[in-house]
Amino acid sequence: MKLAKAQSYALLAKHGCYISEICDKCGRGLGSVRFTRDGEFSAWCSRECRGEFERPAMLKSGRPRKYKNAADRRAAKTKQQRNYRSGPRVEKTVCMAAETKDLQAQESPLSRYPLSPVLPSLEMPRSAKVGDARA
């Protein structure tokens, strides 16, 4: 119930708090938290005073879950794949040994002698090079 301005100022002078509304059932002062009903002008301090008890929260409506958790979902997918692969329409490939096309028998000359000089004419000693001042 709403209080008159004179009553609110009297409570402010006596108790030190400004209250503009009190609970319609128990008479407590209402602060910023109040319980109301749509279409009614009454206000209460709690759900119990309003005449209702704790209700479970309403869940969003929508499509229900197909699986309870990720493990059930994964098990169903595995079963689906197993059933599909066991069917007669699926062509099964046999693992064949990879053909090397005789690549292992061939060796390149560079891999056989990695430390041999590629161009021996460029690999001359330092003193034999043209234009050397010490020679």
**What is the structure's pLDDT at 11?**
85
Measured in degrees and rounded to the nearest 5, phi and psi for residue 22 equal -125, 160
Divide the 135 residues of the chain into consecutive groups of 10 and give the mean pLDDT of each group.
87 87 86 81 83 72 88 95 84 63 59 58 59 53
- Which of 114, 113, 132, 112 is CA-nearest to residue 124? 132
Question: In the prediction, which pLDDT does 19 show?
Answer: 86
The pair of structure tokens assigned to 97 is 């040994």
The pLDDT value recorded for residue 72 is: 96
**What pLDDT shows up at residue 8?**
86
